[in-house]
Amino acid sequence: MEEGYLLGVYAGVVRVGTLGYDQTQDVFQFDYDAAWLASPSRYPLSPHLPLNGGAAPQAIRRFLENLLPEGEALVVAANDAKSKTLSGLDGAERAKEGHHHRSVAAVLSGCRPDEDARTLL
């Protein structure tokens, strides 16, 4: 991942894996942590995110989009995360235009999309 974000994913205090977003290619990736895979109590986060890996970037995107609220509630969530929507458009307008996935990345990174936040978390 050349330019993007990495986010640790936890179940309580146990690290499950790492979520990555490559902003140059606009794709997500998810890798389970080795300790999680070795745990007898492991489980996949979704049937679309199998433990053996191989989840398609679009399947990861859909999984994440379904976790977040839509429309105005997404705008509220983004503001609560001290994030702003792109180009001043609200989430409902952007969803109609097919750009709501960029809000997902912004909310996950905790950064405003207009910031030059290229550090890996």
pLDDT of residue 69: 83
- If you write DSSP's letter for every residue of 18-74 in order, what string do you get? EEEEETTTTEEEEEE-HHHHH-TT---SBTTB-TT----HHHHHHHHHHHS--THHH
Q: What is the pTM of this model?
A: 0.61
Write the pLDDT tens digit of every residue in 80-116.
Answer: 775 443 433 344 444 444 444 444 544 454 444 443 3
Identify whether the C-beta of residue 61 lies closer than 8 Å to the C-beta of residue 49. no
Write the pLDDT tens digit of every residue in 20-46.
Answer: 999 999 999 999 999 999 999 999 999
